[in-house]
């Protein structure tokens, strides 16, 4: 019974996180709603993530690629969080640029971003720790870090950077040797800050001594690495979380079943938040390119292509194009840099999934509440094969996309 309750809690937390993902983007990032149609098209690839998350939550047809990787590696489910953090950074640039052009003072911006951050973190803390038994805060399994907490803190740092550094006009016609990288050079203070943050992450991850564990350990612990380090799950990242937060972290990490780990590990822990900020900064860079080169499509596409190549090469070098043998493995749990470099190493433009994204909260609340009822699901007869699981997942996802499309046509949008 306790194992069943644990699985129910994990599923509840996962579904709740995705609902609040969408609440954050639509209600706390107005830049996405108010930006021009041309810029908005760029974000339609992220509307695909909404559909993917619904599909994943309905079981993903029972295929492993729609589940989170146990430790190292990358699946479709692991792409969602980086997508959202990236778009937060882009939206910060779009929203704050718009407010600064309207004459909103720095004090007003700080008050606004602080209020939004506090509200978001409180919502995440209370929502993630709610249980029918204990009420608003479940003291029996209290968890301090969380998805919304990480998003809120990332938003806070990125917004402060945008508030104090502001926007600098990128001249398009001057002939200087550094013109090809002027969108980087003009923002050198921000880049220095990000480089220092990444240096801090590297030093803590690879140089911090962890008791009874090898320095720089990045493994899952448990029976991994021939069982040599059973209590070293996450290395420095896990150690810092337990030192700062005690036992109030995630107790059901994705590595628990495969590696038989006994130690708690939080994928939204303190150390990984550093790379979350770096990831969001990449989104800010994309937003600056979109704003200042929006009338020069070739410049926008060429810069995205260059960034894609650079980040792709970085990910390949760091991971050695392998899952476990790289200098830094691709790992969503540890929030490693090459995980983000791999995710953002490709950029595409899609104009689908518009209607689903405009009613994301409705779709997520609806599919969470009604997901186990007909016609969205039914008692399957062929449980030993994938075809019925896949059909049910695709059927339910398609129904919610259709519902969202009909609501969009009726101009009905649910906001919290």
Is position 220 within any domain?
A: yes
Can you give the pTM of this predicted structure? 0.76
- Provide the 3-class DSSP secondary structure of residue 410: coil
Is position 363 within any domain?
A: no
Residues with Cβ within 8 Å of 300's Cβ and at least 6 positions away in sequence, in order, are: 289, 290, 293, 294
Length of the chain: 416
pLDDT tens, residue by residue, 316-353 = 888 888 888 888 888 887 776 655 555 555 443 333 34
pLDDT tens, residue by residue, 260-277 = 998 999 998 899 999 999
**Measured between alpha carbons, how far is 398 from 391 in angstroms, rounded to an integer?**
10
Residue 348 has which token pair? Answer: 């595409």
**Measured between alpha carbons, how far is 114 from 192 in angstroms, rounded to an integer?**
24
Is position 213 within any domain?
A: yes
User: Total structural domains in the chain?
Assistant: 1
- Provide the 3-class DSSP secondary structure of residue 285: helix
| pLDDT tens by residue, the chain, 416 residues | 444 444 444 454 444 444 444 555 445 444 444 445 445 555 555 566 666 767 776 677 677 777 888 898 888 778 778 877 888 888 888 888 888 888 888 899 999 999 989 988 887 787 666 665 666 666 667 788 888 889 889 999 999 999 988 666 666 556 666 666 777 778 888 999 999 999 999 999 999 999 999 999 998 989 988 889 999 999 999 999 999 988 888 888 888 989 999 899 999 889 999 999 998 998 888 888 877 777 776 777 778 778 888 888 888 888 888 888 888 888 887 776 655 555 555 443 333 344 445 566 577 667 666 777 778 777 777 767 666 777 777 777 778 778 877 877 777 766 54
270 lies in which domain range?
2-34+68-352
> Which of 68, 340, 367, 386 is labelled catalytic?
68
Is position 133 within any domain?
A: yes
- Provide the 3-class DSSP secondary structure of residue 331: strand
Residue 3 has which token pair? Answer: 């194992």
**Measured between alpha carbons, how far is 119 from 200 in angstroms, rounded to an integer?**
28
To the query of whether residue 68 is one of the catalytic residues in this protein, the response is: yes
Among 374, 372, 367, 368, smallest CA distance to 403 is for: 367
Is position 369 within any domain?
A: no
Is position 342 within any domain?
A: yes
Is position 344 within any domain?
A: yes
**Measured between alpha carbons, how far is 11 from 7 in angstroms, rounded to an integer?**
6
Is position 396 within any domain?
A: no
**Measured between alpha carbons, how far is 59 from 15 in angstroms, rounded to an integer?**
12
The pLDDT, as a whole number, for residue 83 is: 79
The owner of tokens 């540890």 is: 334
């Amino acid at each position: 019974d306790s194992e069943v309750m644990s699985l129910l809690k994990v599923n509840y937390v996962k579904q709740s996180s995705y609902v609040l993902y969408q609440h954050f983007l639509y209600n706390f990032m107005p830049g996405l709603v108010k930006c021009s149609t041309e810029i908005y098209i760029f974000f339609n690839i992220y509307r695909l993530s909404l559909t993917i998350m619904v599909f994943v939550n309905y079981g993903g047809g029972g295929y492993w690629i729609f589940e989170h990787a146990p430790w190292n590696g990358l699946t479709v489910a692991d792409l969602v969080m980086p997508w959202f953090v990236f778009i937060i950074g882009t939206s910060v640039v779009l929203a704050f640029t718009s407010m600064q052009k309207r004459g909103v003072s720095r004090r007003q911006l700080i008050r606004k971003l602080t209020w939004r951050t506090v509200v978001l973190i409180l919502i995440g803390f209370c929502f993630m720790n709610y249980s029918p038994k204990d009420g608003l805060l479940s003291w029996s399994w209290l968890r301090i870090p969380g998805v919304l907490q990480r998003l809120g803190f990332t938003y806070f740092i990125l917004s402060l950077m945008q508030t104090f550094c502001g926007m600098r006009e990128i001249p398009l016609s001057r002939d200087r040797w550094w013109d090809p990288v002027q969108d980087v050079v003009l923002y050198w203070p921000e880049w220095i800050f990000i480089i220092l943050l990444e240096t801090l992450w590297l030093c803590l991850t690879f140089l911090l001594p962890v008791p009874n564990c090898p320095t720089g350990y990045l493994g899952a612990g448990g029976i991994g690495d021939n069982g040599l380090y059973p209590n070293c799950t996450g290395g420095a990242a896990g150690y810092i979380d337990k030192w700062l937060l005690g036992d109030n972290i995630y107790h059901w990490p994705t590595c628990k079943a495969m590696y038989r780990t006994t130690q708690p590990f939080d994928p939204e822990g303190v150390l990984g938040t550093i790379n979350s900020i770096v990831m969001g900064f990449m989104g800010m860079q994309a937003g600056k390119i979109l704003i200042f080169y929006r009338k020069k499509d070739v410049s926008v596409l060429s810069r995205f292509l260059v960034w894609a190549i650079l980040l792709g090469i970085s990910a390949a070098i760091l991971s050695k194009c392998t899952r476990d043998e790289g200098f830094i493995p691709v790992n969503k749990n540890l929030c490693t840099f090459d995980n983000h470099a791999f995710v953002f190493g490709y950029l595409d433009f899609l104009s689908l999934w518009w209607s689903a994204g405009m009613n994301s909260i409705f779709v997520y609340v609806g599919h969470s509440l009604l997901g186990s009822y007909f016609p969205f699901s039914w008692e399957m007869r062929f449980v030993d094969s994938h075809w019925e699981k896949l059909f049910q997942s695709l059927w339910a996802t398609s129904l919610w996309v259709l519902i969202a499309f009909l609501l969009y046509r009726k101009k009905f949008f649910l906001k919290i």
